[in-house]
Amino acid sequence: MPNRSAKVTDYFSLVKINHTIFSLPFALIGFSLAVKAKSAALDLRLLILVILCVFFARNAAMGFNRYADREFDKKNPRTALREIPKNIIRPKSALWFILINALLFMGTAWMINFLCFMLSPVALIVVLGYSLTKRFTFLSHVSLGLGLALAPIGAYLAVTAQFAMLPLFYSFIVIFWVAGFDILYAMQDVDFDKTEQLKSIPVRFGQTNALIVSALFHLIAVILVITAGFFGDFHHLYWMGAAIFTMILLYEHMVVKPNDLSKVNLAFATMNGLASVVFAVFVIADLYFGY
C-alpha cells in the first residue's frame, strides 16, 4: 500500500485530466457563439474564467465519480489500479479535492456574473449526480451527456447572461454524442456490472442491441449538427467540420464490435477527443472567417 503523499499529477490522473477535451471544445463553441451574437470584442479575462469553470466542475465531477465508485473499482480488474483502490489517494483526500473544486467552480461563476453563480449549484448537482445513476437506471449514459452538455450553454450564459436557442442545439448534440460513446465504453464491464447489479444499456439490452442504440444516438447527434448548421446560417467551414465529425463517429462504429472490444479505448478517448477538437475548430473558424 503506497503511503507517500499524493502528488498533483496523481489527482490529475484520478480525474483523467486529458478527458477535459470532450467538454472544453464545446464550451469554446458556446463562448464564441455568444461573442458573435453580441458583436463584442474577445474578453480574455472572461474566456479564462469560462475555461476555469469547465476545469473545476469537471474535477469535482470526476473526483466524485471515483470516490462514489471506489468499492466497485476495487473489485473490477479493469479499474483496480486506479488511485483510490491503490490507496495512492485516500478517500478523505478525494473528498477534500471534490469540495475544493466545487467551491472554486462556484467562486469562478460568481466572478463571471450573478446568473452563472445562481445556476452553479444546479450544475454541480447535475455533474455530480451522474455517478449515482448507474445504481438505479440504465440511462446513466444520458445523465453523463447531460452533465457535459452544460458546457456550451454555460459558456454562452457567461457572455450574454441570457438563454438562446442556438447554443442549446450544441448542448443536445453533446448529450447524444456523449451518451453514444459512453455506451461503447460500458460494454467493457457488462459481466462485472451484472454481478454488482449496476445498470447500463449494454447490461439491459445486450451488446449487439447496445451498439444499435449507440449508433442511433450518434445519428441523432449528426442530425442536430446539421440542423444547427442551417439554424445558425453557417458557411462552408462549418460543413467541413460537420462532415469530419460525422466520419469520425462512423469510424467508431466500424471498429467496435460485440465480439471484439479491443478498440473501445481508441473509439472512446482518441477518436472522440479528435472529433470534439476538430469540430470546434471548424465551427469557431466559420464564425469568424466563414463566407
At 51-82, the pLDDT tens digits run: 999 999 999 999 999 999 999 999 999 999 99
Residue 258 has pLDDT above 90, yes or no: no
pLDDT digits (tens, 9 = 90+) for 87-132: 999 999 999 999 999 999 999 999 999 999 999 999 999 999 999 9
d(CA 154, CA 282): 20
CB 32 within 8 Å of CB 287: yes
- Say what the pTM is: 0.94
> Does residue 3 form part of some domain?
no
> Does residue 131 form part of some domain?
yes
At residue 39, the pLDDT reads 83
Q: What is the mean pLDDT of the chain?
A: 93
| CATH assignment of the domain containing 171 | 1.10.357.140
CB 218 within 8 Å of CB 176: yes
Domain that holds residue 265: 8-289
Looking at this protein, which amino acid is placed at residue 138? Answer: F
Distances from the Cα of 105 to the Cαs of 15, 42, 153, 159, 249, in angstroms? 15, 22, 16, 17, 31
**pLDDT band at 4, cuts 50/70/90?**
low
At residue 178, the pLDDT reads 96
pLDDT digits (tens, 9 = 90+) for 187-219: 999 999 999 999 999 999 999 999 999 999 999
Distances from the Cα of 154 to the Cαs of 69, 120, 171, 288, in angstroms? 27, 9, 9, 21
Nearest Cα to 205, choosing from 160, 152, 138? 138
Share of residues in the chain with pLDDT > 90 (%): 83
**pLDDT band at 259, cuts 50/70/90?**
confident
**Alpha-helix runs per DSSP H in the chain:** 8-14, 24-38, 44-68, 70-75, 91-112, 114-133, 140-160, 165-186, 190-196, 201-205, 207-231, 236-255, 264-265, 272-289
d(CA 56, CA 94): 14
Task: Domain count for the chain, please give it.
Answer: 1
Residue 257, classed as helix, strand or coil, is strand
Helix (H), strand (E), coil (C) string for 163-208:
CCHHHHHHHHHHHHHHHHHHHHHHHHHHHHHHHHCCCCHHHHHCHH
At residue 61, the pLDDT reads 97
Looking at the DSSP assignment, which residues form a beta bridge with residue 257?
Answer: 260
> Does residue 151 form part of some domain?
yes
d(CA 20, CA 54): 8
Angle, helices 236-255/165-186, rounded to nearest 10 degrees: 20
